[in-house]
Amino acid sequence: MLAKDKFGNIIYPSKFQRLKENGKIILSNGYFESKNKPNLFYKKIPQGQFYADMRGTEEVPI
């Protein structure tokens, strides 16, 4: 994960720490982090894909 949002702005350390914790949970549930787009996670299923996008600047409850 990178401490920058999709616009290239720096994410504050306290918020980034939370994002890293959420990232660990997401990874442990079968998601993968995109190699081309850091902080974007995906999980392939037979019907398509699920995405968890943590590249924004706002925290959205899961």
Q: Specify if 60 maps to a domain.
A: no
Q: What is the mean pLDDT of residues 18-43?
A: 93
Q: Do residues 27 and 33 touch, judged by C-beta distance below 8 A? A: yes
**Residue 22 is part of which domain span?**
13-53
For residues 29-49, average pLDDT: 95
Domain-embedded: residue 5: no
At residue 51, the pLDDT reads 93
User: Do the Cβ atoms of 26 and 19 come closer than 8 Å?
Assistant: no
Query: What domain count does the chain have?
Result: 1
Pick the more confident residue, 36 or 60.
36
Q: Is residue 1 part of a domain?
A: no
If you average pLDDT over residues 21-41, what whole number do you get? 94
- Residue 25 in domain: yes
Answer yes or no: is 30 within a domain: yes
Q: Is the pLDDT of residue 59 over 90?
A: no
pTM of the complete model: 0.79
Domain assignment present for 7: no
Query: Is 4 a member of any domain?
Result: no
Determine, yes or no, domain membership for 38: yes
